[in-house]
Amino acid sequence: MVGFANYLLRFYASEQPRAVLVGWDTIEAPTYRHRLLPDYQSGRAIDGELLEQLNDLPELVGACGFANAKAPGYEADDFLAAAVSAEERRGGTIIVASGDRDAFQLASDSTTIVQPVRAGELARIGPNEVRERYGVNPKQVPDFIALRGDPSDKLAGARGVGPKTAASLLRRHGTLEAVLAEGRFTAQAQQLLSYKSIATMDAGAPLPAMPDQTPTWQEGAVLARKWGLKQLADRLAALAAGVTR
């Protein structure tokens, strides 16, 4: 919990965003991805203490004046996609903080993905970095994942296809659908289309209102103190008083 809070505070201090939205999984509720692939993300064990913290953290986010997004049937990534879509429509710039490389599909001229690479160091991923790493454009990332596969999500990918072949096929044909239209992977076609759907973040996920926010650090400090997190409470109280710590 303290680690998450410290990251949130560092992120706010470095980026100074007009608004912050934190997306959450509803772990106990399946999504359309599970209907498409019953084994999706199977085998992931979540410690009971961590699960309890995940249920409490949205309260801390809200106490600090920021927004939460959580709803059955959606993953945290879906809310990120929805927020990016909404902010791009209003002409804003977006920083997406995510350790999930699926988020590379959101990179654009106005959206940057920030990922931790080692202690205290962050990588900033834009369209050029996606092309350098994957050999495809951001919008092609779901197609790339479908072809290459993603063991962590139980996506097998196309038989005999690794990242270089997947990128080459997409540079030549543009989309997975176009690859399939050429007669490739006929026996796996429906499966690969399901993989693409699973890898695609749902920008239609429901969002709370996102007006400009003013952090309410003192409310966060009160909650942290109630939870017995003295150092975090002191840090939030210092921010409320305008003291940088």
| Chain segment 174-207, per-residue pLDDT in tens | 999 999 999 999 999 999 999 999 999 999 999 9
Cβ contacts of 162 within 8 Å, gap of 6 or more: 148
Q: Report long-range pairs for 181-186 (Cβ below 8 Å, ≥24 apart).
A: 184/158, 185/158, 185/159
Beta strand segments in 32-174, E: 67-69, 94-97, 111-118, 121-125
Cα dihedral 232, 59, 3, 18 sign? negative
Helix H or strand E segment including 33: helix 32-36
Measuring CA to CA, how many Å separate 90 from each of 93, 94, 103, 210?
9, 11, 20, 11
| Chain segment 130-142, per-residue pLDDT in tens | 999 999 999 999 9
Q: What is the pLDDT of residue 173?
A: 98
Q: Please identify which residue in the block is written with the tokens 């951001």.
A: 138
Q: Which CATH superfamily is domain 134-199 in?
A: 5' to 3' exonuclease, C-terminal subdomain (1.10.150.20)
Where in the chain is CATH 3.40.50.1010? 2-130+201-238
Where in the chain is CATH 1.10.150.20? 134-199
| Chain segment 69-81, per-residue pLDDT in tens | 999 999 999 999 9
User: What is the rounded distance in angstroms from the CA atom of residue 92 to the CA atom of residue 89?
Assistant: 8
The fold of 2-130+201-238 is Rossmann fold (3.40.50)
One-character DSSP codes across 48-75: HHHHHHHHHHHHHHHHTT-EEE--TT--
User: What is the rounded distance in angstroms from the CA atom of residue 108 to the CA atom of residue 177?
Assistant: 23
pLDDT category of residue 48 using cuts at 50, 70 and 90: low
Over range 159-169, report the average pLDDT.
97
Q: In this structure, are residues 138 and 107 in contact, taking their beta carbons and an 8 Å threshold?
A: yes
